[in-house]
Amino acid sequence: MLYITCPLPQRRVHFINLTMKENYSFSYNVFEDVADLTPDDQALVDKARKATELSYAPYSKFNVAAVAKTSSGQFVVGTNQENASFPAGICAERTLLSAVSSLYPGDAVKTIAISYHNLNEGGHSNRPVSPCGICRQSLLEFENRTKQKIRLILSGMEGKVMVVDSASMLLPFSFGGDDLK
C-alpha cells in the first residue's frame, strides 16, 4: 500500500494499492502403488528402496536413498551419510549428484527415484518423501548445469508414489548463478 497525504487544509489520505498477487502452482502425478508405474520406473523405485539399506543414519534412524538413471543409461546410487557432528552429514540426493558428477562427468540425470525407511520406533515409511531445501537447490543447479530436467519419483517403502516432471518445480523462488551477475 502507498499512502499519499495532501498538504491542503482539508487533509485527505488516499490509498493506492500497488501490490500484485501472483500464483505459483504445478502438477504432479500420484500413483496408489509402485505397481501402477511403468516397468522402468518400478525398477528404479525398487532399487531406491533396496538402497536404503546402504544408508548410514545411526542418529536419525531415517534411511534415505536416491537412485538415478543418467542420460547414458547408467544407474547411480546415493544414500544419506550422517555424522555425530551435525550438520556434517550429507543427504542422499547430494551424495548421488556428487557421484554422478565424479563417475560420469558430462552426463545428465534423466530420472531420480527417492525412497526412505524410517527405522524409529513407531515410525512409518508409507508415504512419499520430498527432498529438503538444500537438496532442492542442488537438484536445480544440476538441472541448470546439464540443461536437462530431472524427473523425480518420490516414495516410501510402500504406499503412494508421486512423480514430479522437473526438480525445478519444487523450488519456484530459487537462487542461481544469474543472481550472482
141 is catalytic: no
DSSP category for residue 20: -
DSSP 108-157: PEEEEEEEEEE-STT----S-----HHHHHHHHHHHHHHT---EEEE--S
What are the distances in angstroms from CA 2 to CA 13, 15, 121? 10, 6, 54
Please identify which of the residues 22, 53, 82, 93 carries the catalytic annotation: 93
The cell for 66 is 536416491
> How many other CB atoms are found less than 10 A from the CB of residue 79?
22
Q: Greatest CA span in the chain, whole angstroms?
A: 78
Which residues does the annotation mark as catalytic?
A: 93
